[in-house]
Amino acid sequence: MIDAGPRDPRDDRRRNRTESALEALTRLVEASRRRAGLEAVTVSDQGGFLLAGAGAHRLCEELAAWAPVMAHGADNDTVPTSLDSFESRTRLRRLAVDGIEIVVTLCGPGAAESPELEAVSAGCERILGQRSAS
């Protein structure tokens, strides 16, 4: 049985906790980028606004703007565009947290095989979901 009593914060396995959702998201994507050796990891809203990013700032801003377009790409669009250069080295997932859609994007070599998309998506649900519950 799990004891629900008060815990000593020094026993917590995670360090450097924060109450700020944006800071927590930034720490999440930075840890993920380092683990996977990626160029960038971003979390953006469906309007292309960067919520949190890890990697070169300009690349993060471009990925945030690009992700909603690719997440809702036209099925009959077969003409190559400059966005194809991103598509070949990125992986993204669209998800909703409490009715708000966000897009998680991984960019860099190995993005297609990386399990970090699952980890960042789950982290976003945990961080953003707990904020609205409190």
> Which SS3 state, helix, strand or coil, does residue 78 take?
coil
* Cα–Cα distances in angstroms (integers) from residue 25 to residues 4, 14, 18, 45, 74, in the given order: 27, 15, 10, 13, 30
Residues 91-132 have pLDDT tens digits of 989 999 988 899 999 999 888 888 999 999 999 999 998 554
Hey, what CATH topology would domain 20-72+80-126 get?
Answer: Beta-Lactamase (3.30.450)
Ramachandran angles phi, psi of 55, nearest 5°: 125, -170
Distance CA 25, CA 128 (A): 9
Which sequence spans correspond to the domains of the chain? 20-72+80-126
Distance CA 123, CA 2 (A): 23
Residues 33-71 have pLDDT tens digits of 999 999 999 999 989 999 999 999 999 999 999 888 876
